[in-house]
Structure 1
Amino acid sequence: MAIFVHYLSILLISAVIFLLLRAYRLRRLRLPPGNLGLPFVGETLQLISAYKTENPEPFIDERAKRHGSVFTTHVFGEPTVFSADPETNRFILQNEGKLFECSYPGSISNLLGKHSLLLMKGNLHKRMHSLTMSFANSSIIKDQLLVDIDRLIRLNLDSWTDRILLMEATKKITFELAVKQLMSFDPGEWSESLRKQYVLVIEGFFTVPLPLFSATYRRAIKARREVAEALSKMVKERREEYEKGERKNDMLGALLGGEWEDDQLSNEQIVDFMVALLVAGYETTSTIMTLAVKFLTQTPLALAQLKEEHDGIRLKKSGSEGLQWSDYKSMPFTQCVINETLRVANIISGVFRRTVTDVNIKGYTIPKGWKVFASFRAVHLDHDHFKDARTFNPWRWKNNNLGTSCSGNFYTPFGGGPRLCPGYELARVEISVFLHHLVTQFSWVPAEEDKLVFFPTTRTQKRFPINLQRRR
């Protein structure tokens, strides 16, 4: 017993000395104020616990109130500076590649692949980012993509039954759209098999990247291999067609035919690039579609106004006539709904970056190699920037495209700087077309109570089951 007490005393004294030395080091480094929490674990458990509820804001709210809008914490195994300050967030985004570089958990990096756009740096990232934006700009959407977006969404909605899990149904839509846009593939057995593997890959994003300790990560790694094999086969076939002079005007065709520093991209590079683009086009857009419907269901006046806007568009068309670009441009309230859904739901709650040198911000110094987290969510839900910030109110965007009297620094649902989401306009079009066909064809009620959670990704707990009735 005496030996146990002795060792316990040593352990406690060591812990106190450790915490005191760490506190002294923080003051000496002029770090933003904060609390690194427990040794090794930090405040990770508090963060995860908050984000598994409908109201994760207190994790940042309480610390920002105590320490200021830029504060120090310790999460996911590393000391991290959190920013809930729009000016600091903009500084972080604009200095990508200069003072900061992208940094994501090992699980995400491993599953996306080393050649994914998310992990690229320098000139190659600039070129690939530019290429991606060139395939998702308004001109391309208008002239090439809109007809397939309209056709595939209608095809999916035609198959809907009386009751669906909306989040599952929208994921099927957005995955089919992404496969079509990237590889010119129509929906079928191949794309559905690929989608089922993608579900497993994404489940592994926020797990411990050690197969021995995580069954979810093991499944994700296995699914990633199967995805890579399927895409590798596709790339190989398309490369053979390209060398025979057969060309397709899609993203895969551009990757195969581009002039690169190393003559041409390898199949592995193309597969990694496609894996990440499919994730980006599939997961986030479907979640926005689902949550827009959830928020509209809870806001009957907004739903009624949205139906009125789209009924007016449909009255000018024959029953089978598809949407045109002019129809998309005549959906002002729809854009208000999308803006507000993006602001309230915060599908991308923020971004992690790593300092490449000592960085001075707001009179503080963040040491080289530290992580920073620019929180978009904290800014979007701050009452100082948006009136009644935590209430879904699409009308706030009616007379001001930012929904606030402040600058665009306060609204960053697609990030910013060199890593601005290249598919933001395409996502808006897909959501708009989906809402058009949904509200003109169906009325619905929730099948059961469901709630939002934000970890590991933003979603509804029960995938938002709804009972549908076709409108006459």
Structure 2
Amino acid sequence: MDFLLLCLLCSCVLYVFFLIIFPRSSRFNFRKLGLPPGNLGLPFVGESLQLISAYKSENPEPFIDDRVNRYGTLFTTHLFGEPTVFSADPEANRFVLQNEGKLFECSYPSSISNLLGRHSLLLMKGGLHKRMHSLTMSFTNSTIIKDILLVDIDRLVRLNLDSWTDQVFLQDEAKKITFELTVKQLMSFDPGEWTEKLRKEYLLLIDGFFSVPLSFFFTTYGKAIRARRNVAEALRVMVRERRKDSNKKKDMLAALLGDGEGGFSEEEIVDFLLALLVAGYDTTSTIMTLAVKFLVETPLALAQLKEEHEEIRAKKSSVALEWSDYKSMPFTQCVINETLRVANIIGGVFRRTTADVNLKGYTIPKGWKVFASFRAVHLDQLHYKEARTFNPWRWQQSNSGSLGGSTGTGNVYTPFGGGPRLCPGYELARVEISVFLHHLVTGFTWVPPEEDKLVFFPTTRTQKRYPIKVQRLHRLV
């Protein structure tokens, strides 16, 4: 907080200096340049401090609402060191997503690139990205989940939940589950000493994504860089061992290794695996946690969810779930849809223009940043009735728009992005969350924390990691 106040004070001094030195007529003219209207804020820091301050609160919406009311759904601002066109418009967002690799390219700070590696799926471009994305989709489609992955998903979820004691931090436990599931799916490793050691390194690695990028050994970023080296080395050793292993497995790593000329280089494989472990670790686990939080705060929804899963369990002689059970969870899918919409784990994406781009009557210069905000669209009252209320029943009537459902086109619901960079694991995430919710509501009762607020910066999470007191109803293994 002291650092932010210091930045704000320095910026105010610089802003006054800026006003004195430069006459009003020479300042930024949005209309003359063909840009959306807006405000670049303070020199150097722009409106970054206002954005960070808003997203550290439980209600960041006024940051967007105020600017949309003043300028419209496309406005110009200055975020994280660069002038940026901010889009709260579903049609503009779709245009940005669909023109990936043509008019726009992904753009992230070098600090994130250093931690993920240039061959991560998030950062790679062109033909290599298309090939890797297609490969990932082929290992996360519904057929593969049904025939291969579901057994392990169900087993590992039950194994983790069965180890719970009287009180657990749900956010931490969910992350442990999703990490172990991702390691199993990518590399066929069951939980053990190797996976737990790797997970502890990942805790340090992920902390570095949203820290000041100073590489001193005592800084958060410096510790993250060292953790990244340790993770990469562990994966590198494992990749070399698998190359020599005559017992071929049918997992993602086997496809990456390939046969003959079909495989990828060691560096590409390590970066790719490292980044997928990051993705699988954080996003799905957050949805698991927030689904429980929202359900607790909406007792009728929790009661209906429990009823759906008790009916499934009553028809079975085993606690293990099958594909037909997963397909018998319509209200669970409504809960997941609504959690994704309200929580907005991926609030939006940054892209950089590769040419001058005409968008909704404006011209965005080559090299400018564009932020396509999914959150702004998901929580817009024009697209969803009572948009900022958790209402899973809206998805039962989403076609007609009644009961608070969506009143617009498919462009207004994009929790997994879209275009060539559509999240390849979206179906897998749904299955993992569904299995988790089933075993939680049929295997336990729990008492939630008296209060645990949501914050949205640097990532969406609960402040206190959502501690719950649990009581087991039956054994899960």
Pairwise TM-score range, normalised by the shorter structure: over 0.9
Q: 1:105 aligns with which of 104, 109, 125?
A: 109
Deviation per CA, 1:64-99, whole angstroms, max 9, x where unpaired?
Answer: 111110000001011111000000000000000000
Q: Secondary structure, in 3 states, of the residue corresponding to 1:398? A: helix
Q: Secondary structure, in 3 states, of the residue corresponding to 2:390? A: coil
Match of 2:35 in 1: 31
Q: Secondary structure, in 3 states, of the residue corresponding to 2:352? A: strand
1:51–1:455 contact (8 Å) kept in structure 2: yes
2:259 is the alignment partner of 1:255: no
2:310 is the alignment partner of 1:311: yes
Could you tell me how far apart the structure 2 residues matched to 1:365 and 1:385 are?
26
Match of 1:407 in 2: 409
After superposition, residues 192-341 of structure 1 pair within 5 angstroms as 192-212=196-216, 215-241=219-245, 245-257=246-258, 264-318=263-317, 320-341=318-339
1:358–1:367 contact (8 Å) kept in structure 2: yes
Could you tell me how far apart the structure 1 residues matched to 2:14 and 2:60 are?
37
1:107–1:207 contact (8 Å) kept in structure 2: no
Match of 2:164 in 1: 160
Q: Secondary structure, in 3 states, of the residue corresponding to 1:230? A: helix
**Superposed displacement of residue 24, structure 1:** 3.9
1:448–1:466 contact (8 Å) kept in structure 2: no
Could you tell me how far apart the structure 2 residues matched to 1:327 and 1:259 are?
40
Deviation per CA, 1:158-182, whole angstroms, max 9, x where unpaired?
Answer: 1001110000000000000000000
2:89 is the alignment partner of 1:91: no
Partner AA of 1:334 in structure 2 = T
Partner AA of 1:379 in structure 2 = V
**Superposed displacement of residue 258, structure 1:** 5.7
Match of 2:189 in 1: 185
Q: Percent identity?
A: 75
Match of 1:450 in 2: 452
1:207–1:214 contact (8 Å) kept in structure 2: no
1:80–1:373 contact (8 Å) kept in structure 2: yes
2:217–2:223 contact (8 Å) kept in structure 1: no
1:208–1:214 contact (8 Å) kept in structure 2: no
Residue 470 to residue 27, structure 1, CA distance change in 2 (3 Å)? same
Residue 17 to residue 469, structure 1, CA distance change in 2 (3 Å)? same
Match of 2:378 in 1: 380
Partner AA of 2:50 in structure 1 = Q
Q: Secondary structure, in 3 states, of the residue corresponding to 1:468? A: strand
Could you tell me how far apart the structure 2 residues matched to 1:102 and 1:133 are?
19
1:442–1:469 contact (8 Å) kept in structure 2: yes
Match of 2:4 in 1: none
**Superposed displacement of residue 13, structure 1:** 5.4
2:105–2:354 contact (8 Å) kept in structure 1: yes
Deviation per CA, 1:116-163, whole angstroms, max 9, x where unpaired?
Answer: 010111111111100000000000000000000000000001100111
2:473 is the alignment partner of 1:471: yes
Deviation per CA, 1:29-74, whole angstroms, max 9, x where unpaired?
Answer: 1111000011111011000000001001111111111111000000
Deviation per CA, 1:350-404, whole angstroms, max 9, x where unpaired?
Answer: 0000000011111111111110000000000001100000000000001326831
2:15–2:42 contact (8 Å) kept in structure 1: no
Could you tell me how far apart the structure 1 residues matched to 2:423 and 2:336 are?
16
2:118 is the alignment partner of 1:114: yes
Larger mean CA deviation between 199-208 and 424-433 belongs to 199-208
Q: Secondary structure, in 3 states, of the residue corresponding to 1:412? A: coil
RMSD between superposed Cα atoms in Å: 1.9
Residue 355 to residue 249, structure 1, CA distance change in 2 (3 Å)? same
Could you tell me how far apart the structure 1 residues matched to 2:267 and 2:15 are?
50
Moved over 6 A (4+): 8-11
**Unaligned 5+ runs, structure 2:** 1-11
Partner AA of 1:433 in structure 2 = V
Deviation per CA, 1:418-469, whole angstroms, max 9, x where unpaired?
Answer: 0000000000000000000000011111134101000000000010000111
Could you tell me how far apart the structure 2 residues matched to 1:178 and 1:303 are?
28
Match of 2:7 in 1: none
